[in-house]
Amino acid sequence: MFKSRKLTFSATLVASVAAGVISSAAYAQDYNIGAPASAQEIAGWDIDIRPDGMGLPVGSGNALDGEETYEVFCASCHGVFGEGEGRWPVLTGGEGTLSDDRPVKTVGSYWPYASTLFDYIRRAMPFTAPLSLDDQQVYDITAYVLYMNDIIEDDFELSHENLAQIKMPNEDGFYIDDRPDVSNPRCMVDCADPETMMLQSSLAGVTPIGHFVEGADAPAASHSDQHDLEASKEAERKASITGVEIVAPVAKETSAMSAAAIAGEATYQAACGVCHTNGLAGAPKVSDANAWSERLKQGTDLLITHALEGYSGSAGYMPAKGGRADLSDEAVTNAVLFMVESQQ
Amino acid sequence: MTTPSTQELLQTMQGASEHLSVNDRREFLRRGMSYVAGAAAVGGTTIASAASLTSNLPPNEPQWGRQLGTGVVENPYGMPSRHEAQVVRRTVPWLTAESISSISMSPLQDLKGIITPNGLVFERYHAGVPDINPDEHRLMIHGLVDNPLIFTMEDLMRFPSVSQIKFIECPANGGMEWRGPQMEALQFTHGMLSCCEWTGVPLKVLLDAAGVQTEGKWVLAEGADGAHMSRSIPIEKVLDDTLVVYAQNGEMLRPEQGYPLRLLNPGWEGNTSIKWLRRIEVGDQPWHHREETSKYTDLMADGRARRFTFVQECNSVITSPCPENPILRKGFIEVEGLAWTGRGTIKGVDVSFDGGVSWRPAKLKGLVLDKALTRFSFTTQWQGEPWLIQSRAYDDTGYVQPTLAQLREQRGVNTIYHKNSIHTWQVAPTGEVKNVQIT
C-alpha cells in the first residue's frame, strides 16, 4: 500500500519536473496575485494633494464664502478665529514665535505648503465627519483659514490653478534630517564631575500614578474621568451661583425601551455616540439628564427634525444626520428615540 | 491547623514591612488590615478563615488545592490571571483633548523578555479604532507603476509570508521631558514603545508585482480610518525592509494595531507604520502631508525644523528598579532594562550607579536582534545606599546613546520628538525610586 503510493508520487514528480513546472525559480515568483485596479477605483480613493498641485480637484473658492462654512463645521473646536477652543488645535497666529521659549506652531506660522491644508481638511476634517465636505467647501474653507493667517486676501479666488503658487511664510524653515548630530564617547571612568552635578526632580501632581502610589496627588487616569471631573467642577460652579441641586446621571435599562428605540441603539453607537457619549464638540451627553431636560420639552418630533436636518443652538453644531448622509431617515429617527428614551 | 491571632498577624506584617518604602509599607499594611478584618469576622477559628492571609501558606494546604478549578473553554480566548489586573495600558488624559486622537503607553515596568503581549502594545490613533470587515478591506497600489493592482486580504495571505521581531516606538516617547523631568513613572516616560513578532509580505514583493517605473522614488502610504493618516516613505527604505503585515505575535493584528493590515517600517518613527493600510501610491517626490510637516518635524532652537527624521536612534532605560518597581529588600538585586536602536543591532549597554561618573558593562540577555527590543541585566548587591542609576546603550554603527545635555545643546528644548537621552532614576535609601534629571 505504502510502497505503491510512493511510486505514484515520484512518477508525478518526474513528469512535472520534465514539464518545467517546479524547477524554475523565476516561475515560482511569478505570483500573479491581485486584480488590476481600474481607473474608476483609483479615482475614488486617490485623494492626496502634493505641493506641486498634483491631485487638486478642478474648482475654486474664497474666504468670503468660506467664513460661514468654517463657522458651521469648524469653529466649535478650532474657535471662530482659529484660536482653538479648550485643548483643540489652534489654527492661526504664532508668527515669529518659532524660536521663542513657547513656540506656537500653526498653519500660518509653521506649515510649509498650502497644499497640505487642502489635503488635510479634505482627508480628516471635520474631525467627526471626515471626507464629508465637497470640493467647493474645501476650497472655501482652505481659503478662509489662509485668510485668517494673513496669507491671502478675503476675495482671492483660490483654485486648482493657483494653490501651488501660494508661498507660505515658513516654507524655507525646514531641512532634511542631519542626524546623528551628537557624538558621545563611551567613557567608563571619571566621565562627569560629581561636584558640579545638579539634580532636578519631577513635578508632583501631573502624572496619573494612583495605580501604584496610594493617596498620591494624581490627576485623572482616563479622558472620561477627566471630562467628568471638569463637568462636575463646572456643575458645582453653576450650582453655587443658582443654588440648583446637582443630580447624578443614572444609566437606563434598555429593556424598558420601545422596539424602535432598541433598534436605534446600533445606529447611535455607529454614528452618534462619537459626539453624544463623550460630549464632544458641545454635544449633550446621553448620560447627562440635565443636558436633556430642556431639549425634551421641545417634543420628540422637533428633536428628530433637528437630528435629520442639522441644528445649531448655543451648545454647538449638530451636523445633519450626525454628518452621515448615508443613513436612512428611519435609522436616524430610531437613534433619536434611543437617546430620548434613555432619559426616561 | 491553628489560626494565628490578630495580634500575631499584625506583628508578622510589621516585621515584613520593614523592608518596604513608605508608600509600599502603607499599601502593605492596608492590604494586611483587610485580611485581618476578614479573619476576625468569621471568628478566627472556623474553616472559613482559610481565606485569611497565612492559611494558604505551608504547612497548610492552600485553598486551591482543596477544590476544583474552572474547566476548558471557560475563557475561549484566555485572559491573564485576575491578580494581574494592574498590568494595563495607561494614558495621560491632559495631553490630548479626546481619547479618540490620543496615545496610551505600554506597562514596560511589568513586561518580561522582549515581546509585548498584543493587548499591551501602546496605542496611537488620530481618529479612533475603525471596525473593519476584512472581506471588504482592499490594498490598492497605483501611481508610477506599470500595473495598478488591488489586493484582497486573501490575496495578500497567498504570498509567501515572513515573520520578524521588530520594535515600534512613537517619536514622542519621552517628549514631555525635554525641559525637565515631569512624569513620575516609567510607563509614562518610556511606554510609547512595544515589540512584537510581525507576519506579512515585504512591500517590495507587492511593488515588484505592480512594476515600479524608474521615476518612482517615494511612496505614499495611507490608512482606511477616519484620519486617512498618510506618510511619504523613500523607495530605498521600501526596497530595504518595509513590510505589509497582517499578524502580530501569532494572531491576526489587533484592531488597535491596524486590523486587518498595516505597514511596518522597522526602526522608524511609529507613525510611518501606517495602520489600517489601504493605499500605496508611487511618486517621484514626497507629499509633505500634515503628519510630516505640522507634526513629526523637529523644531530646533533657531526656529528651523528638521523634516523626515525617520530613524529612532539608539536608546535604553532601566525597567527594574523604576518608580513602579521600588527595591523591596536589601541584598541581591538584578538591575534590568531594555535597549533598542532603529539603525540596527544593540552592541552593548553600560550601567552607572553614580549618575554617570563611572560606568560598568551590563550583560545582554536572550535574543539580540536587528531593530528589536534587547534586554540587559546587571546583578549586584544593594545595602540601602542612595543610587543615581542610568543605562547607556550603543549600537553596531558605533553610535552611543547621548546625554540630555548633549541633545539640548544641539537641538534646544522645543523639538518634542526623538528624545533618546540617557535616563536617570534616583534610588532612595528606603528603596523608593524617582524620576530625576542630572544637569
Taking contacts as CB-CB distances below 8 angstroms, the residues of chain B near A115 are 288
Strands (E), B90-226: 102-104, 123-125, 138-143, 149-152, 162-169, 193-202, 218-223
Q: Chain A closest CA to B24's CA: distance in Å?
A: 8
Domain termination site, one of B287, B306, B325:
B306
Selecting from A112, A184, A186 the residue whose C-beta is nearest the C-beta of B406 gives: A184
What residue type is assigned to position B96 of the chain? T
Taking contacts as CB-CB distances below 8 angstroms, the residues of chain B near A174 are 293, 297, 304-307
Q: Chain A closest CA to B425's CA: distance in Å?
A: 10
Chain A residue whose CA is closest to B230:
A48
Selecting from B30, B96, B307 the residue whose C-beta is nearest the C-beta of A177 gives: B307
Question: Could you tell me if B275 and B330 lie in one domain?
Answer: no
Backbone angles phi, psi at A62, to 5 degrees: -145, 165
**Residues within 8 A of B (CB atoms), A 282-341 only:** none
Q: A233 and A239 in contact (C-beta within 8 Å)?
A: no
**B6 in a structural domain:** no
CATH assignment of the domain containing B336: 2.60.40.650
Question: Could you tell me if B347 and B219 lie in one domain?
Answer: no
What kind and span of H or E run contains A96?
Answer: none
Q: Chain B closest CA to A31's CA: distance in Å?
A: 7
Judge: A37–B141 Cβ closer than 8 Å, yes or no.
yes
Question: Could you tell me if B299 and B370 lie in one domain?
Answer: no
Domain termination site, one of B306, B325, B358:
B306
Question: Could you tell me if B286 and B164 lie in one domain?
Answer: yes
**B384 in a structural domain:** yes
Q: What angle do CA B179, B309, B286 make, to 5 degrees?
A: 140
Q: Any residues with CB less than 8 A from the CB of A156 and at least 6 apart, and which?
A: A62, A63, A143, A147
Selecting from A103, A110, A223 the residue whose C-beta is nearest the C-beta of B294 gives: A110
Which among B126, B207, B217, B294 is the top mutation candidate for probing chain A, defined by the most A β-carbons within 10 Å of its own β-carbon?
B294
Question: Can you give the pLDDT at residue B243?
Answer: 98
Chain B residue whose CA is closest to A120:
B290
Chain B residue whose CA is closest to A48:
B287
Cβ of residue A196 closer than 8 Å to a chain B Cβ: no
Those residues of chain A that have pLDDT short of 70 are 1-29, 234-235, 237-255
Question: Could you tell me if B170 and B271 lie in one domain?
Answer: yes
Question: Could you tell me if B202 and B251 lie in one domain?
Answer: yes
Ordered domains of chain A (ranges, CATH): 60-172 (1.10.760.10), 254-341 (1.10.760.10)
Taking contacts as CB-CB distances below 8 angstroms, the residues of chain B near A110 are 293-294, 305
Judge: B306–A206 Cβ closer than 8 Å, yes or no.
no
Q: A136 and A61 in contact (C-beta within 8 Å)?
A: yes
Question: Can you give the pLDDT at residue A182?
Answer: 97
Chain B residue whose CA is closest to A204:
B184
Question: Can you give the pLDDT at residue A119?
Answer: 98
Q: What angle do CA B424, B430, B432 make, to 5 degrees?
A: 40
**B88 in a structural domain:** no
What residue type is assigned to position B225 of the chain? D
Taking contacts as CB-CB distances below 8 angstroms, the residues of chain A near B289 are 48, 116, 119-120
Cβ of residue A188 closer than 8 Å to a chain B Cβ: yes
Question: Could you tell me if B253 and B329 lie in one domain?
Answer: no
Q: How far apart are CA A291 and CA A283, in angstroms?
A: 9
Taking contacts as CB-CB distances below 8 angstroms, the residues of chain B near A41 are 140, 150
Judge: A103–B147 Cβ closer than 8 Å, yes or no.
no
CATH assignment of the domain containing B266: 3.90.420.10
Q: How far apart are CA B359 and CA B353, in angstroms?
A: 8
Q: How far apart are CA A144 and CA B49, in angstroms?
A: 73
Taking contacts as CB-CB distances below 8 angstroms, the residues of chain B near A46 are 142, 279, 281
Question: Can you give the pLDDT at residue A219?
Answer: 82
Judge: B97–A198 Cβ closer than 8 Å, yes or no.
no
Q: Chain A closest CA to B419's CA: distance in Å?
A: 12
Judge: B313–A112 Cβ closer than 8 Å, yes or no.
no
Question: Can you give the pLDDT at residue B99?
Answer: 85
**B44 in a structural domain:** no
pTM of the model: 0.82
Judge: B183–A280 Cβ closer than 8 Å, yes or no.
no
Cβ of residue A231 closer than 8 Å to a chain B Cβ: no
Question: Could you tell me if B254 and B169 lie in one domain?
Answer: yes
Q: How far apart are CA A178 and CA B315, in angstroms?
A: 18
Judge: A46–B281 Cβ closer than 8 Å, yes or no.
yes
What kind and span of H or E run contains A303?
Answer: helix A300-309
Question: Could you tell me if B105 and B213 lie in one domain?
Answer: yes
Please report, to the nearest 10 degrees, the dihedral formed by the alpha carbons of residues A291, A295, A301, A304 taken in order. -40
Q: Any residues with CB less than 8 A from the CB of A161 and at least 6 apart, and which?
A: none
Provide the domain limits for residue B364: 315-436
Question: Could you tell me if B225 and B323 lie in one domain?
Answer: no
Q: Chain B closest CA to A315's CA: distance in Å?
A: 17
Distance of CA B58 to CAs B63, B277, B351, Å?
A: 12, 55, 39
Digitized pLDDT (tens) for each residue of chain B, 439 residues in all: 334 343 443 344 344 444 444 444 444 434 433 333 333 333 333 344 444 556 899 999 999 999 999 999 999 999 999 999 999 999 998 888 788 889 999 999 999 999 999 999 999 999 999 999 999 999 999 999 999 999 999 999 999 999 999 999 999 999 999 999 999 999 999 999 999 999 999 999 999 999 999 999 999 999 999 999 999 999 999 999 999 999 999 999 999 999 999 999 999 999 999 999 999 999 999 999 999 999 999 999 999 999 999 999 999 999 999 999 999 999 999 999 999 999 999 999 999 999 999 999 999 999 999 999 999 999 999 999 999 999 999 999 999 999 999 999 999 999 999 999 999 999 999 999 999 999 8
Taking contacts as CB-CB distances below 8 angstroms, the residues of chain B near A280 are 98, 100
Taking contacts as CB-CB distances below 8 angstroms, the residues of chain B near A177 are 306-311
Judge: A222–B91 Cβ closer than 8 Å, yes or no.
yes
Selecting from A182, A198, A201 the residue whose C-beta is nearest the C-beta of B434 gives: A201
Burial A80-112 (b: 16+ CB within 10 A, else e): eebebbeebbbbbbbeebbeeeebbbbbbbbbb
Cβ of residue A4 closer than 8 Å to a chain B Cβ: no
Chain B residue whose CA is closest to A52:
B287
Judge: B151–A219 Cβ closer than 8 Å, yes or no.
no
**Residues within 8 A of B (CB atoms), A 140-159 only:** none
Question: Could you tell me if B393 and B432 lie in one domain?
Answer: yes
**B407 in a structural domain:** yes
**B425 in a structural domain:** yes
Domain termination site, one of B265, B289, B306:
B306
- In chain A, the N- to C-terminal Cα span, in Å, equals 76
**B189 in a structural domain:** yes
% helix, strand, coil for chain B, step of 5: 25, 30, 45
Q: A111 and B293 in contact (C-beta within 8 Å)?
A: yes
Distance of CA A60 to CAs A168, B325, B431, Å?
A: 19, 59, 66
Q: Chain A closest CA to B197's CA: distance in Å?
A: 25
Cβ of residue A266 closer than 8 Å to a chain B Cβ: no
Judge: A180–B437 Cβ closer than 8 Å, yes or no.
no
The ipTM, to two decimals, is: 0.86
Task: Please tell me the total count of domains within chain B.
Answer: 2
Question: Can you give the pLDDT at residue A256?
Answer: 77
Taking contacts as CB-CB distances below 8 angstroms, the residues of chain B near A208 are 90-93, 188
Question: Can you give the pLDDT at residue A36?
Answer: 97
**B251 in a structural domain:** yes
Chain B residue whose CA is closest to A111:
B294
Taking contacts as CB-CB distances below 8 angstroms, the residues of chain A near B86 are 211-212
Question: Could you tell me if B164 and B208 lie in one domain?
Answer: yes
Q: Chain B closest CA to A77's CA: distance in Å?
A: 10
Number of cross-chain residue pairs from A and B with Cβ atoms under 8 Å apart? 276
